Amino acid sequence: MTTTELTAPPGVRKEERRRRGRTGAGRQMHAGPVTYVVLTVFALVSLAPLVWTAIAASRTDGRLAQSPPPLWFGGNLFKNLESAWDEAGLGTAMVNSVVVAGTITVSTVLFSTLAGFAFAKLRFRFSNLLLLLTIGTMMIPPQLAVVPLYLWMSDLGWSNQLQTVILPSLVTAFGTFFMRQYLVQALPTELIEAARVDGASSLRIVWHVVFPAARPAMAVLGLLTFVFAWNDFLWPIIALNQQNPTVQVALNSLGTGYVPDQAVIMAGALLGTLPLLVAFLLFGKQIVGGIMQGAIKG
């Protein structure tokens, strides 16, 4: 159903946009005070659990079991962060997650751009069929892959090694689809034709024409992929254990441990989320733009 929407002739949307521009503010009415109040409530609900995580991480386990719960910071933050980093293995986990999510991001962006370009601008046999296959399988739950993956990785003797979680995530159907949607509109066909006439090989065209045109979308896809890979849960907790964890695996062992120290658990949750919060602080605008862009088109 989304595909029909997606492939609406590009001109239509531009036309709409122009009309909106002509009519000035259009739908954009100025927000009244009530709007700001309600938005502030939404914002508080969004942020409060994160702020409270930091508060809880600065207290002791004993204090967290008492009522009323602490509403302000205590003095144990660094001690708890240290315990989480060393004893709970968050330190190793952070390094592992950077390696895993970094590799997955580079590979997804690269291969998605190549495949997306081919689907958007090149003509080849079965291209429509292959694209349909890609879209159709975008929504299959990961549960349908984990049993065979587990058996294969055991056969290879790879259990608990990072490649077990890297390999299956090196490309996503979403990535290819996302890049295709972007390049259909953003890459002028004449540009490729001109390069061809000048005798450029396909690889040169990819390097000098496609990559520069695709750069904004590649950046957004990279951010989205990194968030996704960093937070991936099901397969990593099956494939890895506490000996060699990613952040999510370490958090899982923290949460299901038999002697839980809630303050240390909160410190772990804070550490594991911090890199993405920093990324949102720096690139929030791009991430928001990417999600909204993906929404109109998909």
Partner 1 sequence: MSSSKQALAHPASSAEAAPGTPPGAARGAHGRGNPAGPDSWRSRLYRWDMKASPYAFVTPFFVLFGAFSLIPLLYTAWYSLHDVQLSSLDHQTWAGLDNYKNLLSSDFFWNALENTFTIGLISTVPQLLAALGLAHLLNYKLRGSTMWRVVMLTPYATSVAAATLVFTLLYSWDGGMVNWFLHFFGVDPVNWRESDWGSQFAVSTIVIWRWTGYNALIYLAAMQAIPADLYESAALDGANRWQQFRHVTIPQLRPTILFTIVVSTIGATQLFGEPLLFGGVSGSKGGSEHQYQTLGLYMYDQGWIIGNLGKASAIAWSMFLVLLLVAAVNLLLTRRLRKSQ
Give the footprint of partner 1 on residues 229-248 (CB under 8 A).
230-231, 233-234, 238, 247-248
User: For residues 46 and 75, which CB has a smaller minimum distance to partner 1 in the complex?
Assistant: 46
- Taking CB under 8 A as the criterion, which residues in 21-40 touch partner 1? 23, 25-31, 35-36, 38-39
| Local structure of residue 24 (DSSP, 8 states) | T
Q: Which stretch binds partner 1 (CB under 8 A): 48-56, 72-80, 81-89, 214-222?
A: 48-56
- 265 part of the interface to partner 1, by CB under 8 A: yes
Pick left, alpha or beta for residue 289 (phi over 0 → left; psi -120 to 50 → alpha; otherwise beta): alpha
Q: Indicate the burial class of 81 (C-beta count within 10 angstroms; 0-12, 13-18, 19 or more).
A: buried
Are the C-beta atoms of residues 271 and 155 closer than 8 Å to each other? Answer: no
Q: How far is the CB of 34 from partner 1 (least distance, A)?
A: 9
**What does the CA dihedral 19, 25, 27, 30 come to, rounded to 10 degrees?**
170
Residue 141, Ramachandran bin (φ over 0: left; ψ between -120 and 50: alpha; else beta) = beta
Q: Give the nearest distance from C-beta 78 to partner 1 in angstroms.
A: 19
Q: List C-alpha distances in Å: 72 to 63, 218, 265, 298.
A: 12, 41, 18, 43
Q: Report if residue 163 touches partner 1, rule: CB under 8 A.
A: no
Q: Are 250 and 256 in contact (CB under 8 A)?
A: no
- Considering only residues 88 to 107 of the shown chain, the ones binding partner 1 according to CB under 8 A are none
Which one of 73-81, 83-91, 211-219, 290-298 is the stretch in contact with partner 1 (CB under 8 A)? 290-298
202 makes contact with partner 1 (CB under 8 A): yes
Q: Is residue 296 part of the contact set for partner 1 (CB under 8 A)?
A: yes
* Residue 14 binding partner 1, by CB under 8 A: no
Phi and psi at 97, nearest 5°, equal -65, -35
Binding mask 169-198 for partner 1 (x = CB under 8 A): xxx-x--x-------x----x--xx--xxx
**Considering only residues 49, 72, 75, 157, which one is a binding residue for partner 1 as defined by CB under 8 A?**
49
